[in-house]
Structure 1
Amino acid sequence: MASRPDRYVGIDNDINGGMTTIGKIIRDAWVFGLIPETETCKNWNLAGIDSLLQKVNTEWDKYGCLVSHLPPELAARHKQIHDPAIAQARAAGWSGEHETDYEE
């Protein structure tokens, strides 16, 4: 049985063009300025990713976890970071359907 890796591969090496839970955490951390956009989190351990998730969640809680509640500058930054990532992932074959399968 193969063991799970104990280090993250980095958002630029992640599956589905980085459209994973960890990839979303990283992009949101970029939006909120928690880490620089040059930080891919390559070789981070799961404790580091979890710590980043907690910081990202703290920021989202300020806005009710809704993009529509972000102030204009953060909403623009969210669009600037997430839209190209989604387009790139779709071009690579990601559809996003498995993220919404439960919403029937």
Structure 2
Amino acid sequence: MLKRDKTYVGLEADSFGGMTPTGTIIHDAQVFGLIPEEETCEGWTVSRVEALYDQVSKAWHPYGHLVSRLPDDLRERHQRIYGAAIERARERGWSAELYDDPEI
């Protein structure tokens, strides 16, 4: 169970450049314009990240949580944001098979 007073380290310090469950919430929030693309969420509390997750989930709902159903502008933004994130993550040794979020 996560401690409520724990804070997120931010995308730049996150394991594998943010290709973690918390990082993908943040990337998705950037895609949907819920937070600025420059926002790394460094120092955010667990409850604040959870609130962002709720917003992201609502934003995905009309598209069935599928990138292929996004309108062109959002799909292009998704490809750009995730393309850069995946490139950074691979440089840090990330593999799509990893699923661990020790940063929060």
Counterpart-to-counterpart distance in 2, 1:59 and 1:24: 14
Q: Give the deviation of 1:28 after TM superposition.
A: 0.4
Gaps of 5+ in 1: 100-104
Counterpart-to-counterpart distance in 2, 1:31 and 1:97: 23
Identity of aligned residues (%): 47
Counterpart-to-counterpart distance in 1, 2:98 and 2:20: 11
Alpha carbon RMSD of aligned pairs, Å? 1.5
Relative contact order, CA 8 A, sep 6+: which one is greater?
2
Q: Write the letter of the residue equivalent to 2:23.
A: G
Q: Give the deviation of 1:17 after TM superposition.
A: 1.6
- Residue 56 of structure 2 aligns with which residue? 56
Q: TM-score, normalised by structure 2?
A: 0.88
Q: Write the letter of the residue equivalent to 1:26.
A: I
Q: TM-score, normalised by structure 1?
A: 0.88
Q: Write the letter of the residue equivalent to 2:10.
A: G
Structure of greater Rg: 1
Q: Give the deviation of 1:58 after TM superposition.
A: 0.2
Gaps of 5+ in 2: 100-104
- More helix as a share of residues: 1
Instruction: Work out whether 1:79 is the aligned partner of 2:79.
Output: yes
* Runs of 4+ residues over 2 Å off in structure 1: none
- Residue 66 of structure 2 aligns with which residue? 66
Pairs within 5 Å for 1:6-85: 6-85=6-85
CA offsets 1:38-57 (integer angstroms, 9 cap, x no match): 11111110000000000000
